[in-house]
Structures are given as C-alpha cells and as structure tokens.
C-alpha cells in the first residue's frame, strides 16, 4: 500500500466522526457515541468506504494510550489514594459477578458441566471475557460532562484500572487451569513487580520532570518528554510485565499528575487526541464490527451475553458501592460507568481462540457487547448525572467542539 | 507486530530527536539538523535501536503533509501571486541546470554517450534525480527563524512547489523517451487539470470554511475539517493526478490561508507537528540511511553527485534570482534554500530502478545528497540571514522548544 492511501481513510474518518459527533450532541448524547456509529456506518458493515487496517489499528492504539495518559494526568492523586481501597473492592466484585454470570449463561445454553470438564473451562472463559471493563469510553464521557475529577469519576477510573489487572490475572488463571504451562502465580508476581517498578521509576521520573518544569516551564520539551514517557511506560508494561499498555499509560499520567505543568501537558495531549487520534480510535471500534455468519442460536446467545455482561457489572459494582456508603444514585453511576467493554475483551477473546477455549463465532457477541455498552453507557451516565443537577446543560467544562 | 511494539520506537525517536534538536540549537544550528542526526544515530547506521518500518514511514508521510499544509496556511496569498511569475522562472532554471549537470557528471565518469543511446538515458536520469527540491527542511528552518512569510521565503516555497511539478513532468518525459508507453503530454495535461480542479474546488471549500468560521469561530470542528481537507487534497493529488501528496497539502493550505481563523488552524496543526509527526518525519530521514556495499568508484561518484547537485541548484536558482532583481545576498539565500533534496529524489530513484534506468547502488549517493543537503542548507541559511541583521538572535518567532 502506498503511504498516501491512508490519507483517504483518515480524511473520511475525521469528517464522519466529527459530523456524527455533532449530530449525537444535538440529540443530547455524548459525541463518542456518534464517533463509534460513524465508524460503523463508513465501515464494512454498512457503506464499506473504510476497511480496518494494521495502520489504523496502530493509530487507534496510540489514541487509546493518549486518552488514558490524559486521564492519569488529570487525576487528583489525593482523591485516588482516598478512593483506592474502595475502588479495589468495587473492582473485585465487578470481576467476580460477571465471571460467574457468564459461566452460568454458557451452561444454560449448552448444559451443565462439572469442574475439570472441557466444557466447564469454556463456560468459565465466557465469564472471563466479561470481566475487564474498558474505561476509555466512560472517561471520554465523564470528561465531556466535566465530571472526571469528582469522587465518582475517580472511583470509576481507579476501579477500572484495578479491574483490568484482576481481569488479566483471571485470564491467565483460567488458561492455566486448562494448560499447566502458564503459571497464575507468576502473573500475580509480575503484576506486583510492575507496580513496584512503576512506583520507584515513577518517583525518579517525577523528580526529573519537576526539575525540567522548574528550569523550563511551559516548553515544548516538557510535553514531548511527557509523551515519550507515556509511550515508554505503555511499552514496558506490555512487553516486560504482560500488563495492558493502557494501564502503563495511565500510571505514567498518575506519575506526572502532581507536576506543576501537568495541565499544560494534558492540554497538548488533548489537542492531539481530539484532532486526530481520538476519532481514529472511537471510529475504529465501529469499523471492526461485521455482521457476517450469524445464526439463530448465536443471536439468542448474543442477546443473553450482552444482557448478562451489562447487568452483572451493574449489580456487582453497584451493590458493593452502596455497601461502601455511596448513595443509590452514585452507586448506580459507578455500576453503569463500569459496564463498558472494549479492546481488552477482544484481546481476551483472541487469546481464548488461540488456546482453544473459544470458537470464532463468539466474536460476534463480544463485538456486540462492546458496541452496545459503548452506546448505552454514555446515555445512561448522562441521564444519571442530569438527575443530580437538572439545570446543568451539556459539556460545561470543555470548549465547543 | 503487536501494536504496542511501535510505542518503544516512538518513545526513542521523540526523546532522541528533541535532545539532539536542543544540542543543535546550542551549537547555533537549526533543530531540524539535530533531529535528522538523531535518526541517523538511533537508526541502523549507528546504534540500530530503531528500524525503519511501514508504520513509521506512513507517520512520517503524515508529518511532511502536515508541514506543507502549515506552510500553505501561513502563506501570504497576495505575496504569492506577486512572486508567482518570478518563482516559475527560478523553478525552471533550478530544474534545467542540475538536469544538464547531472547528465554531464555521469558521462564524465562513464564516457560520453550520444542522444538515443541507452547510456544517454541513464545519464539523463542521474540529472533527473537532482531536479526536485524538497522544501520541507527549508520551510522548517525558515519557520524557526521567523522568515517564512517574507519575500524570499515565499519565493523559495512557491518555486519549490512549482519545481516539484516540473520535476515530475521531466521524470515522466525522460522515462517516456526510453519507454513509449507513458505520455509526457498526458502528464502536463493532468497537472494543469489538477490545478484547475484545485482552483474551482478550492474556491467552493474556501466559501464553506468562511461560512463555518463565521458560525463557529475558534472551534474544534474548524481544525478537524481543515485537517481532513488537507489529507483529502494530498490523496486526490497523488491518486488521480499523479502529483506529489505534499503539493496537494500545500495547495489545501493556500486555499485556507485567507480564512480568518487560518492562524488558529495552523496553531493546532503545529502542536501535532512539533509534538509527534515532525520528529518522526525528520528523524525518519536519518533512519533510512545505511552505508552498506560502498566501493571506491561509488565514493568518488557520490562526492561528485552531491557537489554537482548542490552547486547546480545554487547557480541555477541564484543567478536567475539575481536577474529578477533580488540583491546578491537574497539570490544566494534562494539558491541555498532550493538546494535541499528529500523524499521526491528517493521516489524518482525508485521509479528509475523499476524501469531499468538506474541500478540499486546509486541509492547511496541519493541518500547522501538528502542527508548532506539537509544538514548544510539550514546552516548556510542561518549564516546568510545573520548577515542581514547581525543583532538578531535565534528563533524569535517561535516559542522556546
């Protein structure tokens, strides 16, 4: 492929995503929904103008990493430490309930299977796909509403990060149950090690950035170094610790969130995000969707899969939030905010395919879950937040798009 | 390759390019030089930390397109129309002199060949490689010095754009001489057609943007639409008219340069450029360089090739500028500014290879020419501009990097 061929795809994605984003906002929905639908419309499912390619996938990956870095940068560290233990509890329940729910759903469709049976692992794997929350859509949505920094926002983001890690541990554990080669203990150790390294290395980098910041505040080198740090952490997390790159990028953001110029860096990242990488990522979700080889059982299973995945997350996270003294409305917000699934669910499915715990047709329900949760969550969140302050209009904290 | 693998390369490129850029500035050289050298150092020639990949090449292509779009956006249209005829003359001489010089150089090394001989076409092709100026490095360098908008700056950019077009016509003509399939006349027609379409379509888009600008000044949709327009024009130029994508992007910038918010759009593009795409492009030039299979004749030929290419451009463009009533110093600036060669020279070489007019070893002199002209031009330009105003320090128009 010639390099210039990508310009066409990018131009179509940018225009379609922005137009549908504006339409979505007119309908009082978050712009992200419009961007995902734009991808669906221009993608193979409807018009077929743009095909998913390795290049677009890599750009989308940069997009989601930038998004998580921004989320980290905008974190109120004191608030995170305060919400940490609660977030951990919420994440645990948010993993456990869908894991059990998914396994029961599979057994309801294909018959009960005892522990140790091949079918039992398959059932457990369906649950595993449901565990990992993808917080990017929720983050974008809270950002648009200016609610990312609040107590609920911080709790959701922290819980989603922790839940990612637990989700990966569960994945390795389930695969390890069937295949004695991979070692669940080693995964736990490497995860702990990553956070240890991130803590120590992060402190050094924090001092480095504070020094840079004092010498040259508001300079380009600051935002370039920040971006490089974010990309480096994303890479190290995946490559050496087997942890999602977005977790690495989020941690990089947390490390820099107390630097005095953190909002300056965040602002530069945001320009890159909304102008280019964001639309490519969100439209990319729609782009990946295809509705080929679908049959009746699969449709019923898919409906069940989506419902169980959404409801289990709301129940698991919502109830434990209520137990942790959030009021009912805030508990519901947390449950709904954790509902979204994204690329991690796809990565887990891919893994299941390669180890023989999942067959290819189950990709359809997973993609449906990603799509539906991405569309439904922002709408519900908006409704729930509107209940708090009926006078407040759309996106007060963000300049007009 | 996993998507996260690119993060490592990008992080290394960003850090190395920025650090070497700052070192270059400390040595009173333009930052671009440092960025190219950074690519050379981290690339296969020295450390081998980063390999050129399709993904990086595509990002670099977006980078150079963004750069040309910015250059177009910052154009003073009245100045361009005023400099147009002069720029055309300069471009013609800047193509003709190196074309003849390159052919004579080849004959000096490998013996005289009469018109119609196989060797004659090969000699002519060596000249053809020398014709197309790559203005991106000069643009970046003039930008850093705050001299892009001046009469000399505008003349250089316009001449380089025109010279690109003439270079492509010459290429097709030379190939056409050997191979009767391609039709030089058709190339001239399609080039004229492109500018006609760009003129008519550009006027419509200009009106569209003026309308957008009046309704929603300083909004994200404006810069997103601008970026999409730039990418679209780059694509259309290459795909349907066989004209370099950077020419399309530059024309897109020209179309929008009279919109009231053009500097707002340019500012957003600049953030993307300096933060991400610019370093990837400039470091990419160094990254491509490799010094394998080099022998004595090739070294001598390469030295001759580089000298002839640089000197012929300075003589061709400089003398005709003097004839057009620029003073000697400004004429020299124009000649030197037109000296840089870039990706177009590589594309032409690639084409020569595929039609059998060039063998692969001649890539080494071409890469050397790109590298040396990229390093020498900014230094000379800085010296020439310093003569004008001995009191003026470095980069007055650009915020601290």
Residue B10 pLDDT class (50, 70, 90 cuts)? very high
Q: Which residues of B touch A231 (CB under 8 A)?
A: 7-8, 10-11, 14
Asked casually if ipTM beats, i.e. exceeds, 0.85, the reply is: no
A272 inside 8 A of chain B by CB: yes
Q: From the candidates B62, B224, B284, B399, which should be mutated to test the interface with A, based on the most A CB atoms within 10 A?
A: B224
Q: From the candidates A2, A6, A7, A38, which should be mutated to test the interface with B, based on the most B CB atoms within 10 A?
A: A7
Q: Which residues of B touch A14 (CB under 8 A)?
A: 224, 227-228, 231
Chain B, 35-74: which have a CB under 8 Å from a chain A CB? 54-55, 57-58, 61-62, 65
B373 contacts B339 by C-beta, under 8 angstroms: yes
Count CB atoms within 10 A of the CB of residue B182: 16
Reduced to 3 states (helix: H, G, I; strand: E, B; else coil), residue A371 is helix
Spell out the residues 6+ positions from residue B161 whose beta carbon is closer than 8 angstroms to its own.
B135, B247, B250
Please judge whether B234 and A4 are an interchain contact, meaning their C-beta atoms are less than 8 angstroms apart: yes
B321 contacts B152 by C-beta, under 8 angstroms: no
Q: From the candidates B228, B237, B342, B343, which should be mutated to test the interface with A, based on the most A CB atoms within 10 A?
A: B228
pLDDT value at position A182?
57
Please judge whether B14 and A223 are an interchain contact, meaning their C-beta atoms are less than 8 angstroms apart: no
Q: What is the DSSP letter of B362?
A: G
Please tell me the number of Cα atoms within 13 Å of A211 on its side-chain side: 6
Of B140, B190, B159, the closest CA to residue B90 belongs to B159
pLDDT value at position B398?
45
Q: Which residues of A touch B240 (CB under 8 A)?
A: none
Please judge whether A231 and B275 are an interchain contact, meaning their C-beta atoms are less than 8 angstroms apart: no
Q: Mean pLDDT per 10-residue run, chain A (401 residues)?
A: 83 94 80 84 88 88 87 78 86 93 92 81 90 81 83 87 76 71 69 87 90 83 92 91 81 88 88 89 80 78 94 94 90 92 77 78 82 87 80 44 49
B224 inside 8 A of chain A by CB: yes
Q: What is the DSSP letter of A339?
A: -
Q: How far apart are CA A25 and CA A23, in angstroms?
A: 5
pLDDT tens digits, B331-374: 999 999 999 887 678 778 877 877 788 887 787 788 788 888 88
Q: Which residues of A touch B140 (CB under 8 A)?
A: none
Q: Which residues of B touch A399 (CB under 8 A)?
A: 219-220
pLDDT value at position A398?
45
pLDDT value at position B117?
79
Q: Which residues of A touch B18 (CB under 8 A)?
A: 220-221, 224-225, 228
Please judge whether A61 and B3 are an interchain contact, meaning their C-beta atoms are less than 8 angstroms apart: yes
Q: What is the DSSP letter of A391?
A: T
Tokens of B15: 């850090």
- The answer, as to whether pTM is greater than 0.90, is no
pLDDT value at position B184?
63
Count CB atoms within 10 A of the CB of residue A217: 12
User: CA dist B202 to B206, B215, B255, B289, Å?
Assistant: 6, 20, 6, 38
A215 inside 8 A of chain B by CB: no
Chain A, 277-296: which have a CB under 8 Å from a chain B CB? 279
Tokens of B267: 């500012």
pLDDT value at position B218?
78
B265 contacts B249 by C-beta, under 8 angstroms: no
Tokens of A67: 């998004």
pLDDT tens digits, B262-289: 888 888 898 888 889 989 988 887 887 6
Tokens of A224: 């370039």
Q: From the candidates A1, A2, A4, A277, which should be mutated to test the interface with B, based on the most B CB atoms within 10 A?
A: A4
Residue B130 pLDDT class (50, 70, 90 cuts)? very high
Q: How far apart are CA B33 and CA B137, in angstroms?
A: 9
pLDDT at B400 over 60: no
pLDDT value at position A291?
67
Please judge whether A58 and B400 are an interchain contact, meaning their C-beta atoms are less than 8 angstroms apart: no
Please judge whether B4 and A245 are an interchain contact, meaning their C-beta atoms are less than 8 angstroms apart: yes
Q: Which residues of A touch B228 (CB under 8 A)?
A: 10-11, 14-15, 18
- From the number of C-beta atoms within 10 Å of its C-beta (0-12, 13-18, 19+), residue A195 rates as middle
Residue B1 pLDDT class (50, 70, 90 cuts)? low
The closest CB to that of A275, out of B4, B8, B268, belongs to: B268
B37 contacts B375 by C-beta, under 8 angstroms: yes
pLDDT value at position A400?
45
A247 contacts A33 by C-beta, under 8 angstroms: no
pLDDT tens digits, B203-241: 999 999 888 888 877 788 889 999 999 999 999 988 888
- From the number of C-beta atoms within 10 Å of its C-beta (0-12, 13-18, 19+), residue B38 rates as buried
Q: What is the DSSP letter of A276?
A: I
Tokens of A93: 């329940």
Looking at per-residue pLDDT, the higher value among B137 and B365 belongs to B365
User: What's the gap in Å between the CA of B5 and the closest CA on chain A?
Assistant: 7
B215 inside 8 A of chain A by CB: no
Q: What is the DSSP letter of B294?
A: -
Residues of chain B with pLDDT > 90, as a percent, come to: 28
Q: How far apart are CA B17 and CA B283, in angstroms?
A: 7
User: What's the gap in Å between the CA of B18 and the closest CA on chain A?
Assistant: 7
Rounded mean pLDDT of chain B? 84
Please give the residue of chain A at the shortest CA–CA distance from B62: A7
């Amino acid at each position: 492929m010639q390099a210039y061929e990508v310009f066409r795809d990018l131009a179509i994605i940018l225009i379609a995503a922005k137009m549908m984003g504006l339409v979505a906002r007119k309908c009082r929905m978050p712009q992200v929904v419009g961007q995902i639908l734009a991808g669906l419309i221009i993608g193979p499912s409807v018009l077929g103008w743009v095909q998913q390619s390795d290049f677009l996938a890599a750009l989308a990956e940069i997009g989601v990493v930038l998004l998580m870095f921004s989320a980290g940068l905008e974190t109120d560290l004191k608030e995170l430490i305060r919400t940490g233990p609660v977030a951990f509890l919420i994440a645990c329940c948010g993993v456990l309930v869908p894991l059990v729910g998914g396994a029961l759903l599979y057994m309801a469709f294909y018959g009960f299977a005892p522990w140790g049976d091949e079918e039992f692992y398959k059932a457990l794997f369906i649950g595993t796909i449901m565990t990992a929350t993808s917080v990017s859509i929720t983050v974008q949505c809270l950002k648009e509403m200016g609610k990312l920094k609040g107590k609920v926002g911080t709790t959701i983001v922290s819980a989603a990060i922790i839940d990612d890690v637990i989700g990966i541990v569960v994945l390795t554990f389930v695969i390890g149950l069937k295949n004695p080669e991979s070692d669940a203990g080693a995964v736990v150790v490497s995860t702990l090690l990553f956070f240890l390294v991130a803590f120590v290395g992060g402190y050094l980098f924090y001092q480095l950035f504070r020094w840079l910041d004092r010498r040259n505040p508001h300079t380009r080198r600051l935002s370039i170094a920040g971006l490089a740090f974010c990309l480096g952490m994303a890479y190290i997390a995946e490559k050496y610790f087997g942890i999602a790159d977005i977790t690495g990028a989020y941690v990089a953001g947390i490390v820099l969130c107390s630097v005095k110029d953190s909002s300056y860096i965040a602002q530069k990242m945001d320009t890159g995000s909304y102008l280019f990488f964001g639309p490519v990522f969100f439209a990319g979700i729609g782009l990946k969707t295809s509705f080929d080889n679908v049959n009746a059982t699969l449709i019923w299973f898919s409906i069940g899969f989506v419902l169980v995945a959404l409801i289990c997350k709301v129940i698991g996270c919502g109830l434990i939030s209520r137990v942790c003294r959030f009021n009912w409305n805030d508990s519901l917000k947390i449950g709904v905010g954790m509902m979204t699934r994204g690329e991690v669910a796809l990565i887990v499915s891919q893994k299941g395919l390669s180890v023989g715990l999942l067959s290819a047709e189950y990709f359809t329900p997973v993609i449906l879950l990603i799509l539906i949760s991405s569309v439904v969550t922002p709408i519900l969140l908006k409704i729930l937040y509107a209940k708090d302050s009926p006078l407040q209009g759309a996106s007060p904290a963000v300049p007009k798009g």
